Amino acid sequence: MSDDPTTRKPLALVTGASRGLGFAVAEALASTHHVMAVARTVGGLEDLDDRIQSAGGTATLAPLDVTDDGAMQHMCRSIHDRWGGLDLWAHTAIHAAPLGPAQMIAAKDWELSWKVNTEATRRLVAYVSPLLTARGGRAVFFDDPRAGQPFFGAYGATKAAQSALVASWAAETERTGPAVAMLAARPMATALRARFFPGEDRGALASPADEARRLLPEILGRS
């Protein structure tokens, strides 16, 4: 067995790992996996690493932007060269554009929503799929069906496009792998939700940590 502690456990890639559900999923996975945590926010990744290490786990931090094609190519090549593949990919990276009427969606908000929520997903599916196939791995996404709801034009449309892409990938790989799942989290007290519902009673919402623990069997494909 290798002396490198990062090769002794299955490898989980978590994109969008610096806050919210992504942070909580990465922390929950660290008890059984070496976690490669990807996000733009360095401080959030460092906080995650501190928590994982204090619990006896290990993580590799990748402060990268999922919309940067070159960075994603390099990351996936590095995963291949160091680990030979992936056992799990949990994708939580998302952009929450400001709410507003459809006729008033700013071009910059639409473009960023498309780049993060849809195009980055398409690109990562292409790059990560061979890594998962090499290890009989699994990909997990999280649904948030806002399509058609008032004022959710940019977020709802691009999140729906992401969900449709994932559903196609899941149907295409049902027999051949990798396994692909779209999971449903309960309403959580996250910064993203606070942007959508600023006056909401957050005490009635689930915590991301509790949801990560509840969903962990489904994330691992053991439910």
Question: Mean pLDDT in runs of 10 for the chain (223 residues)?
Answer: 65 97 98 97 97 97 98 98 97 95 97 98 98 97 93 96 98 96 94 88 93 97 84
Structure tokens at 40: 């733009």
- Give the pLDDT confidence score for residue 5 in this predicted structure: 58
- Give the pLDDT confidence score for residue 195 in this predicted structure: 87
Q: Using the structure block, give the residue that is written with the tokens 């799990």.
A: 88
Active-site option among 23, 141, 152, 155? 155
- Give the pLDDT confidence score for residue 6 in this predicted structure: 65
- Give the pLDDT confidence score for residue 191 in this predicted structure: 87
Residues in contact with 56: Cβ distance below 8 Å, sequence separation at least 6, in sequence order? none
Q: Residue 155 catalytic?
A: yes
- Give the pLDDT confidence score for residue 36 in this predicted structure: 98
Segment 14-48, tens digit of pLDDT: 999 999 999 999 999 999 999 999 999 999 999 99
- Give the pLDDT confidence score for residue 212 in this predicted structure: 97
Residue 207, classified by CB atoms within 10 Å of its CB into exposed (0-12), middle (13-18) or buried (19+), is middle
Q: What angle do CA 117, 16, 113 make, to 5 degrees?
A: 20
- Give the pLDDT confidence score for residue 2 in this predicted structure: 44
pTM of the model: 0.94
